[in-house]
Structure 1
Amino acid sequence: MTPLKNGLFYGLGLAALVGASLRHRIGGYRNPTDFSPDDWPKAIAHVIDIVADWRRHLDAADGRLPSLAGLDVLELGPGATLGTGVLLVGLGARSYRAVDAFALADHTPAAFYRVLADAELPDEVDRVRLREAADALDGGLTDPVAYVIDPDFDIVRAAQGKRFDLIVSNAAFEHFDDIDRVLAHITQVARPGATLVAGVDFQTHTRGVRGSDPNSIYRFSPDLYRSLAFPGQPNRCRPADYLRSLERLGWIDAECRAVAVADEEYRDWSTDGLHEAYRDDGASMDVLTGMVLARMP
């Protein structure tokens, strides 16, 4: 039954991929989340969860959540809001700069950040500073929160000579066409001792098949997958690809911490249906989502 099952999911996945390609080619890349950006309670909860995840993975020697005081932070691909930046400033970051190829956050009204400032937040948040950051953003200022749109996603150019202590992203790296180029760029703007914390969603992003076949996108040959390319299409890079690139660029302590893993039953029946490049253990196909971490010496 396994070949038949894999054949069925190949067909379902291909149909979903064709549909996603047509939809994005016609409508463009608009909403990076599975909920509407107008749903503020969900959007605010999403922002709080993202920042909490980053902090949990930043190791503190004494076991407490690490301080962000005085850090200059760079976020890659912030998505529909700059809420993470406003919250990071409230947690002590000196500055925050977001770089994206699409101006998705331009559509978020200033009132969203004021609602965020009144939400249930960690006790250590400085709400005065958070509100000041929200007001500055509303006033068109670029300090302490800056938002730079670069269609070429040239991070060095977007940094405008600034360097950073903490570089973060959430479910963005899997959308970058060339992770080697992106990692080379952040290497140029990272200060000595800087930390990278990047949440990566390695799964298919097509909602219709994600729940039953999260590795659906890895079933197809490179030529077929490229023929259906669209803006934001997952790049199919695996944890080892990130680690090799980081180590080659001089980062140290590089690792990918698994966050969500596929269950054994799914791996047993689905592996034979993947393209040959993703069948061996080095592809780590059990890792569905992970946190890529590294540090500059």
Structure 2
Amino acid sequence: MTACEQFIAHPERKHGKIRLAFGPDEELGARGAKLFDVDHFAADFAYTIDGGPIGNLTYDNFNAAQAELTICGTSVHPGSAKDTMVNALLVASQFATKLPQEETPEHTSGYEGYYFLTCQSGTIDEVKQTYYIRDHDRESFAARKRFFTEQVAAFNSQFVEPRISLTLFDQYYNMRDIIEQHPIVIDLAVQAYESCGITPVFKPMRGGTDGCIISHKGLPTPNLFSGTENGHGKYEFVTLETMEQSVNVIMAIAEQSAALSKTFQLEGISSLTQAVKNRV
């Protein structure tokens, strides 16, 4: 909004059409991104301003799935439980410890994927667990989901009747596969960062962003920094100085895009994206 205010206050700073969209962040289940109408938005490319320290320029995120387990036990009086009781609480803990213990968020970094037990509740009779399955590489991601499914089958084979039911579904995918087909969106951002005296920092995002869902809908949408630090914790913060730098980058991208578009329009090309394709 500050960037838009600056453009309104300074009409001498030229830019093309700028379209804005606001929605709930992806931590709420990416509901806004899933409902985002790319055709109605009618843009060649876009950017999310979704956190990260100064310099962050992200187009490489996790492939993500969620696994929901329901573990059914048999609760009887402990005095007569021999060969009868099935303690769903114990089955749940045994399942969690059968997963690779070094492949959890607290033991991984960079491009390393993981299994993450995020929620658990229940009693001897029934336990519900939720796991996140994450990996940057699509093939490794598929392998992780197969492994998880096989573990469920292996546990069920220990009982006379299946005790664990699994619901497994994909949440989002790595936007890198899409962004690499549209290098202009990264080139423009890099030029903007450098024109503002900021060194771009490329790191794999160990999470997701609305942009990854929107990118897979056909609108390439990498993520720019907004300056937040220590995200998702009680020590999260952002500085005014970094937010001002974020505004400068947004404005620089808009101005450079306008200048590039004008050059291509002189060549009789109306779409910036098509112009870049023609130049390759």
TM-score (norm 1): 0.24
TM-score (norm 2): 0.25
Bigger helix fraction: 1
Larger radius of gyration: 2
